[in-house]
Amino acid sequence: MGQIPRLGGEMLKKEAFGVQADMTIDTHAHLEMEAFEGDREAVLKRAAEAGIAAIITVGTTIPDCEKAVALARSYRSVYAAVGIHPHDAKGMDDSTCDRLRALAREDKVVAIGEIGLDFFYNLSPREVQIRRFEEQLDLAEELELPVIIHNREAHAETLRVLRPRKGRLRGVLHCFSGDLAMAGECLALGFHLSVAGPLTYPKAGRLRDVARIIPLDRLLIETDAPYLAPQAYRGKRNEPSYVVETARRLAEIRGLPFEDLARLTSANARRLFNLDGKDDDDVRVAGKAAGG
Ligand SMILES: [Zn+2]
Ligand SMILES: [Zn+2]
């Protein structure tokens, strides 16, 4: 401890950096994915060293949701979300939501996600994506869990689905990619907005404009690791410790000290996902072997 990784992996003393990063939370990563199969322990260790207090690992398929739940059981700092990604909506059948319902009742499952619409890749037919998104939103309402929503190139349709549920759902638009108008409408519907690595990209001016206006009590940060590494690591595999890069940039944009930004966004994450109510003293601490 006492050090956080900086640009290019260079290590600087935290004191020299003038920050206290112990409060940072990565609200969206995919630790269960194949990309972390070889060195998950090291990734979690680096996250702890970078001051990441908690990581929500977000399932996208039933097997990955099962892995996410197992990781949450094995590591104190890891929490799980369970849901079927729009890419995989076409593989859902009428039993899938029953399986998700059972998984959602496991310890340290804090949300239904990631679910939503992806009209960029269209890996599932659009009407199937919409139907399965609605079903999983129903499940979240039934279980009174927040949702983690993926939306790519489907802004109007996402809003059309969410609007009638106003007041019944809470959650986050993860890796927010909409414009100011969409941000305003999502906020009016009660949602949080989460900012990921693209905030640090030179051409992301529009996203930085959105990041400037998100109320400080609705703002979250994430990596979406292994995807979307921040600029300093662009092209490499992303990992939770790199969320510090996004937090630093966001603090600059908001004109806040890093530690205040980290504390605020972490408090938002703890409140939205009820992390403190989900802690389990019996789970083993990070650094011990998973899968036991
Ligand atoms: Zn996503
Ligand atoms: Zn994701």
Read off the pLDDT of residues 106-122 as tens digits, 9 standing for 90 and up: 999 999 999 999 999 99
Q: What is the reported pTM? A: 0.89
Please state, in angstroms and rounded to a whole number, the distance separating the CA atoms of residues 207 and 186. 15
Distance from residue 288's CA to the centre of ligand 2 (Å) = 25
pLDDT of residue 86: 98
Q: Which ligand is nearest to the CA of 116?
A: 1
Q: Is residue 10 part of a domain?
A: no
Contact present, 247 and 4 (Cβ < 8 Å): no
Q: Is residue 4 part of a domain?
A: no
Six-digit token string for 206: 């529009």
Please state, in angstroms and rounded to a whole number, the distance separating the CA atoms of residues 286 and 47. 10
Distance from residue 65's CA to the centre of ligand 1 (Å) = 14
Q: Is residue 13 part of a domain?
A: no
Q: Cis omega before residue 114 (within 30°)? A: yes
Distance from residue 12's CA to the centre of ligand 1 (Å) = 31
Q: Which ligand is nearest to the CA of 173?
A: 1
Counting as low any pLDDT under 50, the low residues of the chain are 1-21, 281-292
Expressed as residue numbers, the domain containing 236 is 18-278
pLDDT of residue 279: 61
Here the CATH number for the domain that contains residue 59 is: 3.20.20.140
Distance from residue 123's CA to the centre of ligand 1 (Å) = 13
Q: Which ligand is nearest to the CA of 32?
A: 2
Domain count, the chain: 1
Side-chain-side CA neighbours of residue 204 (13 Å): 24
Residue type (1 letter), 211: A
Give the end-to-end CA distance of the chain in Å, rounded to a whole number.
27
Q: Is residue 286 part of a domain?
A: no
Distance from residue 259's CA to the centre of ligand 2 (Å) = 25
Q: Is residue 5 part of a domain?
A: no
Q: Which ligand is nearest to the CA of 117?
A: 1
In 3D space, the residue among 253, 261, 221, 242 whose CA is nearest the CA of residue 20 turns out to be 261
Contact present, 52 and 80 (Cβ < 8 Å): no
Distance from residue 233's CA to the centre of ligand 2 (Å) = 18
Question: For 255-268, what is each residue's pLDDT tens digit?
Answer: 999 999 999 999 99
Distance from residue 189's CA to the centre of ligand 2 (Å) = 22
Q: Is residue 6 part of a domain?
A: no
Pairing assessment for the beta strands 3-5 and 11-13 based on DSSP bridges: antiparallel
Distance from residue 221's CA to the centre of ligand 1 (Å) = 13
Compute the residue count for the chain: 292
Please state, in angstroms and rounded to a whole number, the distance separating the CA atoms of residues 178 and 186. 10
Distance from residue 85's CA to the centre of ligand 1 (Å) = 8
Distance from residue 227's CA to the centre of ligand 1 (Å) = 9
Q: Is residue 196 part of a domain?
A: yes
- The alpha carbon of residue 38 and the mean position of all alpha carbons in its chain are separated, in whole angstroms, by 22
Residue type (1 letter), 137: L
Question: For 78-102, what is each residue's pLDDT tens digit?
Answer: 999 999 999 999 999 989 999 999 9
Q: Is residue 8 part of a domain?
A: no
Q: Which ligand is nearest to the CA of 87?
A: 1
Distance from residue 150's CA to the centre of ligand 1 (Å) = 4
